[in-house]
């Protein structure tokens, strides 16, 4: 990023605050060397890729308290868009929203600069807690429960599940930085872990349409779907634990020369 923009420096990295066309911000991460969202619209992109793709409006009607799991809170657009979907209902619906975030200071930035300007400023009530060696923010507001688990998800997620911080999840927003920048959150082992956390009717959605990522999902036991991407992005991916991968896509996966991503193929410091 070359033009001058507002920056935010945490102990983890430096971010450039980037406005997007729908009026909501995104960030450029110096650590990952990548934007977190499309500049076409961080909010609209999130609604397309996750809220609509995971059928959140149906989910909150189907289950008494559906559990939504987001890979990477970032600046909080996923949580914001989901809360807005909840608010469309005639009465407050129950929901548990769980996210992981490696940068605690970015959570504080999102609370101050994103949520404080919305009707969801009650999120300021998030309290930091600790269970054994897992640190997290937690809040129950009306029928909505929010948990943000801090630290490297590859080190915290399995333990958080064992400790009961994460119940079986009904929807997964697979939204970390890209496989080339943050590969440890795109491996077969990662998708296998997500499978263990999941309800049998789970829907996983991700902006990535890379064949190698689809291979990793398939190898981990997910049924893979090809979907329309956001705006100029031609495609994205959904996955489930039941049904089957479409024959045409299955053949492409089986015949692909793309490398399935495994932990053993990553540098030690990435896992």
DSSP 186-215: SSHHHHHHHHHHEEEEEEEEES---HHHHH
Tens of pLDDT, residues 40-60: 999 999 999 999 999 999 999
Q: Which helix (H) or strand (E) holds 17?
A: strand 14-19
Other beta carbons within 10 angstroms of residue 235's beta carbon come to 13
What is the residue extent of each domain of the chain? 41-270
Q: How far apart are CA 224 and CA 46, in angstroms?
A: 20
Q: What pLDDT, on the 0 to 100 scale, is given for residue 258?
A: 80
Tens digits of per-residue pLDDT, 179-193?
A: 999 999 999 999 999
Which residues touch 3 (CB under 8 Å, ≥6 apart)? none
- pLDDT interval class at 270 (50, 70, 90): very low
| Locus of tokens 């935010």 | 8
pTM of the model: 0.94
Q: Could you say which of 3.40.50.2000, 3.90.1150.10, 3.40.50.150, 3.90.420.10 is the CATH number of the domain covering 41-270? A: 3.40.50.150
**Res 154 pLDDT > 90:** yes
Q: What is the pLDDT of residue 257?
A: 83
Q: How confident is the model at residue 4 (pLDDT cuts 50, 70, 90)?
A: low
**Among 89-98, 121-130, 184-193, 208-217, whose mean pLDDT is lowest?**
89-98
Q: Give the ranges where the chain is alpha helix by DSSP (H).
A: 42-46, 56-62, 77-87, 104-113, 153-162, 188-197, 211-219, 247-255
Instruction: Give the model's pLDDT for residue 172.
Output: 98
Rounded CA-CA distance 73/108 in Å is 11
Residue 16 in contact with residue 34, Cβ under 8 Å?
no
Report the interhelical angle of 247-255 vs 211-219 (nearest 10°): 100
Q: Which tokens sit at 85?
A: 């979907």
Give the chain's mean pLDDT. Answer: 94
- Average pLDDT value for residue range 190-211: 97
């Amino acid at each position: 990023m070359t033009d001058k923009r507002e920056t935010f420096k945490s102990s983890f990295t430096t971010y450039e605050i980037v406005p997007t066309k729908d009026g909501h911000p995104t960030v450029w991460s110096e650590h990952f060397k990548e934007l977190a969202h499309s500049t076409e619209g961080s909010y609209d992109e999130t609604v397309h890729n996750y809220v609509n793709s995971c059928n959140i409006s149906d989910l909150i009607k189907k289950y008494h308290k559906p559990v939504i799991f987001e890979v990477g809170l970032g600046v909080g657009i996923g949580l914001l868009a989901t809360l807005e979907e909840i608010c469309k209902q005639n009465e407050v619906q129950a929901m548990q929203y769980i996210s992981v975030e490696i940068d605690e200071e970015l959570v504080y930035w999102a609370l101050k600069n994103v949520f404080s300007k919305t009707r969801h400023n009650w999120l300021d009530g998030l309290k930091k807690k600790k269970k054994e060696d897992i640190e997290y923010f937690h809040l129950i507001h009306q029928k909505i429960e929010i948990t943000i688990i801090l630290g490297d998800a590859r080190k915290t997620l399995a333990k958080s599940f064992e400790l009961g911080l994460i119940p079986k999840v009904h929807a997964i927003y697979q939204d970390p930085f890209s496989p080339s920048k943050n590969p440890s959150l795109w491996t077969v082992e990662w998708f296998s872990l997500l499978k263990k956390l999941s309800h049998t009717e789970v829907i996983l959605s991700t902006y990535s349409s890379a064949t190698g990522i689809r291979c990793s999902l398939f190898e981990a036991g997910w049924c893979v779907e090809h979907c329309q991407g956001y705006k100029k992005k031609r495609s994205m991916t959904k996955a489930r634990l039941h049904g089957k991968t479409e024959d045409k896509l299955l053949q492409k996966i089986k015949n692909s020369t793309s490398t399935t991503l495994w932990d053993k193929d990553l540098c030690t410091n990435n896992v």
